[in-house]
Amino acid sequence: MASHNHYWSCTTFADWLRGTPKPGAETSAGWRDWRKSAQAAHPFRYWLADKALDKVQDIVYWPATVLYDIKYYINNRWVTRTHALTSSSLARGKWCDLDCRILHCLFDELVNHVEIELAWSNIAWNKEDRVKYNVPFYAAGWFRWRVWRCPQAGLDYLAWSSGLKHNDEWDDKDGPEYNKPTQQAVAATEVLELYNWWKTVRPIRLDPYEASGWSAICAQRRSEDEDFLAGLEDRTDEERAESTAALARCAELEQQYEDEDTEMLTRLICVRKSLWT
């Protein structure tokens, strides 16, 4: 079926029919001026090329459009489930409190956004990139089912986005924003940091019980006393001091991790308006 990039009114035939070639890209003011001049030059031919031709296309492609809508309903409803937040990092079948579900679901969906949606954006309009990332047939075009995952393609897209700057094409060279990162670049940099934190930094955080030494204390005392609970009791002032110090360090690490999770979750919420494709 025809996509938004293949409207018949944007073809060479439409330019011939209209009598006025349509620009490839323009500012909003440029498009307004072009429409006025094209209509003034050939009013009826403009209507044929820009109005009637698209209506004829809608009729011709109506069956394909219906099939396309059905496919994407199935995709959105049962495959990608875009009505729901899902987690791939939480264990199936085990109870998780809501605070844990919020953290994992949101960050796991961020991973999906980068590795699936942005990966697709990186290959959607470029055949060379589809070869580069070895894209399967179901990742693009009519057969796309939004299940192809490619972390590298998504990361490469973020790397490109984070390098965008206000330049000569759209900005005044003497303007205050010239050569500074665009809003898209700032958001891409933030998304990349959040993604890397969830994928590489957070998973290797030290276990508080191990890092504080509490696990080693418990193991040592249990080896000295067959009674499970009695073996954990402080029997001397030295043991009490040892336990207090270890538990204090454990609590400190747990609070540090909790604060870090909250900070990163807040940052994710703040950048949510940029998470679209």
Instruction: Report, in angstroms and rounded to the nearest whole number, the Rg of the chain calculated over CA atoms.
Output: 29
Alpha-carbon span 272 to 122, nearest angstrom = 20
Q: What sign has the CA pseudo-torsion 53, 121, 86, 263?
A: negative
Note whether residue 211 is domain-resident.
yes
pLDDT tens-place string over residues 131-148: 999 999 888 877 777 889
Note whether residue 226 is domain-resident.
yes
Within 8 A by CB and 6+ apart from 251, the residues are 208
What is the reported pLDDT for 3? Answer: 43
Q: Which residue has the higher pLDDT, 185 or 227?
A: 185
- Arithmetic mean of pLDDT, 205-213: 96
What is the reported pLDDT for 218? Answer: 86
- Arithmetic mean of pLDDT, 192-212: 97
Note whether residue 231 is domain-resident.
yes
pLDDT tens-place string over residues 56-66: 999 999 998 88
Note whether residue 234 is domain-resident.
yes
Note whether residue 131 is domain-resident.
no
Note whether residue 213 is domain-resident.
yes
What's the pTM? 0.79
pLDDT confidence band for 201 (50 / 70 / 90)? very high
Count Cβ atoms below 10 Å from residue 187 Cβ, excluding itself: 20
What is the reported pLDDT for 1? Answer: 38
Amino acid occupying residue 118 = L
Enter the tokens of residue 219. 């193991």
Note whether residue 240 is domain-resident.
yes
How many domains would you assign to the chain? 1
pLDDT tens-place string over residues 217-226: 888 887 777 6
User: Considering only CA atoms, which of 84, 134, 132, 128 is closest in space to residue 106?
Assistant: 84
What is the reported pLDDT for 4? Answer: 40
Inform me whether the pLDDT recorded for 151 exceeds 60: yes
Alpha-carbon span 275 to 257, nearest angstrom = 25
Please report, rounded to a whole number, the percentage of residues in the chain having pLDDT higher than 70: 92
Inform me whether the pLDDT recorded for 229 exceeds 70: no
Count Cβ atoms below 10 Å from residue 225 Cβ, excluding itself: 13
Q: Which residue has the higher pLDDT, 44 or 24?
A: 44
Count Cβ atoms below 10 Å from residue 185 Cβ, excluding itself: 18
End-to-end CA distance of the chain: 21
Note whether residue 218 is domain-resident.
yes
What is the reported pLDDT for 178? Answer: 82
Angle between helices 62-74 and 53-60 (to 10 degrees): 60
Inform me whether the pLDDT recorded for 81 exceeds 70: yes
Domain that holds residue 256: 205-261
pLDDT confidence band for 199 (50 / 70 / 90)? very high
